[in-house]
Amino acid sequence: MIKSGFEYLVPESLSDAYDFKKKHEEAAYIGGGTDYIPLLKYDLKKPETIISLGKIMELKKIEADEKGMFIGSMVTLEEIHENRFVIDSFQSLARAAQSVASPQIRNMGTIGGNILQDRRCMYFNQSEDWRSNLASCFKIGGSICHQAPKSEVCRALYYSDIAPVLLSLDAEAEIYDGELIRMPVSHLIKSHIERNGRIKTNDFILKGFYIPYLPEDSWAKFGKYSLRASIDFPAMNIAARYSKREESCIVRIIAGAVSPVPIELNDIESMIVNHLDKLEEYKKDIVEGALSELTKKSCLIRETGISINAKRNAFKNILRMTDGLISAIIKK
């Protein structure tokens, strides 16, 4: 049951939705609602006004031009998974969309909502009665992280399956903040994660994502690993990509669900780029180095239904992904 009452507004344009947010200080935007509605029911969100983005048609478009594709923030995950043009151009994105939760949730959940989802924690994602004996944490206006009491920041994990893929594809986010602004997806995610750990909201509206086409003969892959092959949150997910551009190349390896932010394995990316002509010789060192770098950069907390040891055991999937990436580069 949703305990708090609120005003519900349904604008039909970006400018109207933005103006509503400016006029209602304690307001929140809502897209598909698959993440936000449960938080309302747990009384973790208490908006005075909810602004639905469901009737803003320009947020529901998938459009292509000569250089790339724009996917509106209100496009559902199922639409992305089923769209032939997305499948042909960005198979790793289609695979990531298919991996999220259940068909019912994918039919409602949006790509924008998956990126701007709340970070999760076994102390935060509980009923109000359950939390009543605890001091308020950072995410609900307090000054403590119950997972790491000495931490000065929220340590809740970010479980987006779409984020690692968009980061690997060098996508850009388009936001409306009184005017249209483009920024790297990495900047949007960083800003969202900082705000989400301190109960702060934003006035801007996420319009969508622009993804540049990959050069010919690129390789991109997404993998999600969970305890059950069903609607579980990931124990870990990974997006990897290789592209060759004239005399240079691009290598991306991004891991998610193991930290408050997606982790990029920069050291291993550089090692691959610097040894392109000797990958067979250095393959073992690179693959083992990927596991080492991921382990060092991860920031695990206790979760419901999975132990930290089981979570760490999932890290071994980075070995298979990195091995596959190197094998694909060698064949090209």
51 inside domain: no
pLDDT of residue 116: 97
Residue 271 forms part of a structural domain = yes
DSSP code per residue over 171-188 = -EEEEESSSEEEEEHHHH
The neighbour count for residue 274, using CB atoms within 10 Å, is 10
Decide if 136 contacts 146 (C-beta within 8 A): no
Asked whether residue 288 is assigned to any structural domain, the reply reads yes
Tell me whether residue 247 is in a domain. yes
| Residue 3, pLDDT score | 62
Token pair of 324, please?
């596959």
User: 138-168 burial string, b = 16+ CB within 10 Å, else e?
Assistant: bbbeeebbbbeeeeeebbbbbbbbbbbbbbb
Between the alpha carbon of residue 85 and those of residues 60, 73, 95, 122, 169, the distances in Å are 15, 17, 13, 39, 16
The candidate with the shortest Cα–Cα distance to 332, out of 244, 266, 248, 220, is 244
The tokens describing 116, both together, are 């701007």
Helix or strand holding residue 295 (H, E): helix 279-297
Instruction: Give Cα 213 to chain centroid, integer Å.
Output: 20
**pLDDT computed for residue 191 by the predictor:** 95
Identify which of 157, 135, 159, 133 has the alpha carbon closest to the alpha carbon of residue 146.
135
In sign, the C-alpha dihedral spanning 85, 88, 89, 90 is positive
d(CA 96, CA 241) in angstroms, rounded, equals 14
Alpha-carbon torsion (18, 186, 139, 226), positive or negative: positive
| DSSP for 86-147, written as a single string | HHHH-HHHHHHHHHSS-HHHHHH-BHHHHHTPPPB-TTTSS-HHHHTTS---GGGT-S--TT
As for how many domains the chain has, the answer is 1
Tell me if the pTM is above 0.95.
yes
Burial 77-99 (b: 16+ CB within 10 A, else e): bbbbbebeebbebbebbbbbbbb
* Residue range of the domain that includes 282: 217-332
Give me 225's structure tokens: 């690993």
**Under 8 Å between Cβ of 112 and 35:** no
Q: Identify the sign of the CA torsion 177, 179, 183, 185.
A: positive
Domain assignment present for residue 1? The answer is: no
DSSP 3-state assignment of 51? strand
pLDDT tens by residue, 118-131: 999 999 999 888 99
For residue 210, count other CB atoms closer than 10 A to its CB. 18
Selection from 329, 317, 196 nearest residue 275 by Cα: 329
**Residue 116, domain member (yes or no):** no
- The residues of the chain scoring below 70 in pLDDT are 1, 3-4, 229-230
CATH number of residue 329's parent domain? 3.30.390.50
56, two tokens: 């803003």
Query: Considering the domain boundaries, does residue 302 fall inside one?
Result: yes
- Residue 321: inside a domain: yes
**What's residue 139's pLDDT?**
93
